[in-house]
Amino acid sequence: MRKQCDQKLLIRMKTECLPCSLNLETQCPAGYTKITNGTGIPDCRYYLEIKTHTLSFPGCRHLCTKEFEQPECCQGHWGPDCMGK
């Protein structure tokens, strides 16, 4: 009888906002999978500082996911027997 019922968690994150034209080559951090294509999602703004002014421009970013298994005991069980090593 299995005492360990690991939970699969899906972690999502977005890359830094960049000019859309520069975002084609953007990679997700190690271990993450890019789930957006091309220039990504145009849902953010990036900032450029020019002398005394800060300008805001529409930009793009990518969505990344990572699957993660969290060790957990099955219902009705507890203790070291069913915790992940």
Q: What is the pTM of this model?
A: 0.72
Asked whether residue 27 is assigned to any structural domain, the reply reads yes
What is the structure's pLDDT at 39? 96
- Model confidence at 85: pLDDT above 50: no
Domain that holds residue 57: 15-68
Other beta carbons less than 10 A from residue 75's beta carbon:
7
- Give the chain's mean pLDDT: 89
**pLDDT tens readout for residues 32-70:** 999 999 999 999 999 999 999 999 999 999 999 999 888
Residue 24 carries which side chain, given as an amino acid letter?
Answer: L
What is the structure's pLDDT at 2? 59
Asked whether residue 34 is assigned to any structural domain, the reply reads yes
Number of structural domains in the chain: 1
Asked whether residue 45 is assigned to any structural domain, the reply reads yes
Asked whether residue 6 is assigned to any structural domain, the reply reads no
Asked whether residue 84 is assigned to any structural domain, the reply reads no
- Model confidence at 11: pLDDT above 90: yes
- Residue 83's pLDDT band, with cuts at 50, 70 and 90, is low
Asked whether residue 77 is assigned to any structural domain, the reply reads no
CA-to-CA dists, residue 39 to 23, 48, 81, 84, angstroms: 5, 19, 47, 39
Asked whether residue 75 is assigned to any structural domain, the reply reads no
Asked whether residue 73 is assigned to any structural domain, the reply reads no
